[in-house]
C-alpha cells in the first residue's frame, strides 16, 4: 500500500550463517568458568552455535570417566550414534548451562537442530529474556 512502511524481518538462519550472535564473555563464576551475557538477550533469540567434534558412542563412553574425573563435561548427545564433544574442540557455547540453583525458574536456554544449506547445525537460543551480566 502506498504510504505504508513494511517491516522486513530477517530469518534467524541468516544470523546463524553469518555467526551474528550476542556477545558472550567467558569468565570465572561461582562454579568455575561460565558464559555471561554482555547485553540483554530477547526470548527466542539465537545465542550461538554449538561447535564441537563428532565422536561415536564408543569413543564418548571412553572419554566419559576421564571427563568425570576432571569434572568437565562438554558433551552434547546428538543421536543414538554420535555425540558432539567440545572438550578439545569447541567455542564459547560449551560454557552455556542452566542456572545452577534456579530449578524452579527452568532453563534460560535450549538447543535445536537446524538443517541449513544442507548441513545439520545446533543452535542455542534463549527460552526467556536473559539479562546482561547474568550467567548463561
The DSSP secondary structure of 74-105, one letter per residue, reads -EEE-SSSEEEEEEEEE-GGGG--PPTT-GGG
Range list of β-strands (E), 9-116: 24-29, 32-37, 46-49, 52-56, 75-77, 82-90, 109-116
43 pLDDT band (50/70/90 cuts)?
Answer: very high
| Residue 134: strand, helix, or coil | coil
Mean pLDDT of 56-61: 90
6 pLDDT band (50/70/90 cuts)?
Answer: low
- The answer to whether residue 4 scores a pLDDT higher than 70 is no
| pLDDT tens-digit map of 74-120 | 888 878 898 888 888 888 888 886 554 455 667 788 888 888 888 88
Closest CA to 113 of 54, 35, 29: 54
What are the grid coordinates assigned to 35, written together?
558464559
- The answer to whether residue 53 scores a pLDDT higher than 80 is yes
Q: Residue 27 has what pLDDT?
A: 87
CA pair distance 88, 105, nearest whole angstrom: 31
The pTM of the whole model exceeds 0.85: no
Amino acid at each position: 500500500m502506498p504510504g505504508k512502511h513494511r517491516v522486513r524481518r530477517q530469518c534467524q538462519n541468516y544470523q546463524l550463517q553469518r555467526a551474528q550472535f550476542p556477545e558472550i564473555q567467558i569468565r570465572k563464576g561461582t562454579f568455575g568458568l561460565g558464559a555471561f551475557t554482555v547485553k540483554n538477550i530477547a526470548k527466542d533469540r539465537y545465542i550461538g552455535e554449538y561447535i564441537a567434534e563428532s565422536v561415536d558412542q564408543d569413543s564418548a563412553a571412553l572419554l566419559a570417566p576421564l571427563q568425570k574425573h576432571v569434572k568437565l563435561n562438554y558433551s552434547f548427545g546428538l543421536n543414538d550414534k554420535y555425540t558432539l564433544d567440545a572438550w578439545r574442540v569447541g567455542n564459547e557455547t560449551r560454557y552455556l548451562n542452566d542456572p545452577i540453583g534456579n530449578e524452579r525458574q527452568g532453563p534460560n536456554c535450549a538447543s535445536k537442530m537446524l538443517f541449513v544449506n544442507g548441513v545439520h547445525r545446533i543452535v542455542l537460543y534463549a527460552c526467556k529474556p536473559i539479562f546482561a551480566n547474568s550467567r548463561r
